[in-house]
Structure 1
Amino acid sequence: MISMRDISVRFGEVQALKGVSIAVGRGEFVALVGPNGSGKTTLLRAMHGMLSLRGRRELAPEAARQAMVFQRPFVMRLSVSNNLRLALWLGGVPRAQWNERIASALERVSLQGLEERPARALSGGQQQRLAIARAWAVQPALLFLDEPTASLDPAAKKDVETLLAGFAADGMTLVMSTHNLGQAKRLASRVVYLEDGEIHADLPTAQFFDGGLTGRAQQFLKGEMA
């Protein structure tokens, strides 16, 4: 679905990614984990094509349909439905499909009935679900998520995890950064550990959590690194 080869990203004097190579196959759910400043968000943004980089980024044709959900969702000063209409317009979706897609997306995230409410009047959990609905409405083949439940309460986190598990079951390809190792274990099919802008482990989820790690990656898993 997407292949990144020898990717390096620099912000001034800071080398954020150092020759990273990673490939994500169709239908995978990849969790990026690691300490603060390890490069998780930078890698997500590089994969999504948001950053200038050195190296090679290759996409399968269907991966051109992609979206990203950020840690702090940005919602426009518009109604819930108009936030979705804007995403559909930007995504090139034919206008004739908008109403059906909006209704389906809001039902999928349990926000039906709130179409005309100002988006910024929603709770934090509802705004995150709106951001996910906005991404899902354009029917991406590839979805990136940056700490999608970091600022949510337990109930809202559970709601978002249920949505993401459903997307994965539908065959969508997902790449998510998270500090929540339990979340990675519950949702991901594969876990990638980053530190200091480099990948130090890339394993199937069961192997990652059941003795497949060594060194600093093992220390991180034990909670000995922030």
Structure 2
Amino acid sequence: MRAPDTILPLRAEGLGFTAGGVRILRDVSLIIEAGAPTIVIGANGAGKSVLLRLLHGLLAPTEGRVAWAGLAARRQAMVFQRPVLLRRSVLANAVYPLHLAGVARTEREARARDALALVGLGDLADRPARRLSGGEQQRLALARAAALHPEVLFLDEPCASLDPTATKAVEEIVLALAARGTKIVMTTHDLGQARRLAGEVVFVHRGRVAEHAPAPHFFAEPATPEAAAFLRGELVW
């Protein structure tokens, strides 16, 4: 049977994760479909980042499973809060993941330059990557991921250490990627950012998915008292 043309929907089925004797996630079941960004929110320590790493495949669950509709190995990517850059030029940083992914040598530079243009770094292609500002480095990390043309892009608190101007630039890139058809799954602690970006919200509370709803419904009428308290800034871990 021919493999499906999409890797979505993504299903988490009874997902759990324990580390060092501490149960971080438990009994997480959800379905992530194509469409507008899925934003994962919750208090610090709720398990948001661990959930993203399990969905991406960076961590193996200790309970349950993650199931993609198709072969996901090279059709998804992840960007972390603090990008690790090579001691090379901006362009070389964008080209390198394409080399690892087996993209033909004749295509790599053009794809990398297109991705740099998307994030507003086209004019800095020859600059040493580690001389970029924090916001520019995060945009480069997004360009590296975008150059791979992923169907799904996981973003773990990509704006956590950025100033408002850099945050706005990253949000614009996220929306541009979503408009191109990339499914964004992103964690954030910033409720304003969640309101600006989310098509749907996954609210994680004490290691469980307490709510999964379209963004307008979640923000207007949260279904659980925990979510309502969190939106009021009253939830204490």
TM-score band, normalised by shorter chain: over 0.9
Count of paired positions: 226
Letter aligned with residue 71 of structure 1: Q
Cα shift readout 1:39-83 (whole Å, capped 9, x = no counterpart):
000000000001121212111226440100001111111111111
Q: C-alpha displacement at 1:214, in angstroms?
A: 2.8
TM-score by length of 2: 0.92
For residue 210 of structure 2, what is the aligned residue in structure 1? 200
Letter in 1 for 2:101: G
Find the residue that maps to 2:91 and give its secondary structure. Answer: helix
Matched letter for residue 130 of structure 1: L
The answer to whether the 8 A contact 2:27-2:208 is kept is yes
Which of 48, 61, 72 lines up with 2:56 in the alignment?
A: 48
Letter in 1 for 2:113: A
CA distance in 2, matches of 1:76, 1:10: 32
1:1-226 aligned within 5 A: 1=8, 2-53=10-61, 54-61=63-70, 63-64=72-73, 65-225=75-235
2:224 and 2:23 map into 1 onto residues whose CA distance is 25
User: 1:90 Cα deviation (Å)?
Assistant: 1.5
1:62–1:141 CA contact under 8 A, matched in 2: no
- Identical pairs, percent: 46
The CA RMSD measured in Å over matched residues stands at 1.2
Distance 1:154 1:204 in 2: 26
Whether the aligned pair in 2 keeps the contact of 1:73 and 1:127 (CA below 8 Å) is yes
Indicate conservation of the 8 Å contact 2:210/2:224, yes or no. no
| Matched-pair contact (CA < 8 Å) for 2:46–2:205 | yes
Kept after mapping to 2: 8 A contact 1:48/1:144: yes
Question: Which amino acid in the other structure matches residue 200 of structure 2?
Answer: R
Deviations 1:132-187 (A, max 9, x none): 00000000000000001111111111111011111111111110000011111111
SS in 1 for 2:52: helix
Q: Which runs of 5+ in 2 are unaligned?
A: 1-7
Structure 1, unmatched stretches of 5+, are none
With 138-147 and 76-85 compared, the bigger mean Cα shift is at: 76-85
Deviation at 1:212, TM superposition (A): 2.6
TM-score when normalising by structure 1: 0.97
